[in-house]
Amino acid sequence: MKNEQLKPNFEKKNGLLPAVVQDASTKEVLMLGWINEEAWQKSLETRWATFWSTSRNELWVKGATSGDYLAIQEIRIDCDEDTLLFLVEPQGQGACHTKNQAGQTRRSCFFRSWDQGFWKNLDP
């Protein structure tokens, strides 16, 4: 198999690409973040999942404030070179920035499921 010289196409979507974050061991989807070129370079250099915060307009290393870092094990790119997949090893309680009713960090941001017209909370 030939190694290809690919790079994320940041021009395609106004400088921001989605990055799906998945647990490398369990394959559970943990979160979705946005990556710009600066976050991309920082992620490559440090091997910590780094994003662009669209709400704060700043670089954001996941875990810098919560302690819930995401150690990158593998990075994949889609066929159009405009979406990334980070396979990570979580280094804390969870990946979500919200907490459940018991005040615990949620493992995944995808803790609700559509069920017969309503959102069902999957938190234990």
pLDDT 10s digits, 5-58: 788 999 988 899 999 999 999 999 999 999 999 999 999 999 999 999 999 999
For position 5, what pLDDT does the model report? 76
**Cα separation of 72 and 88, whole Å?**
4
For position 123, what pLDDT does the model report? 81
Domain that holds residue 68: 17-97
Full-model pTM? 0.90
φ, ψ for residue 77 (rounded to 5)?
-125, 145
For position 34, what pLDDT does the model report? 97
CATH number of the domain to which 65 belongs: 3.10.20.810
Count of domains observed in the chain: 1
pLDDT 10s digits, 49-58: 999 999 999 9
Q: Is residue 118 part of a domain?
A: no
Question: Distance of CA 64 to CAs 28, 75, 76, 116, Å?
Answer: 22, 21, 24, 38
Q: Which amino acid is at 37?
A: E
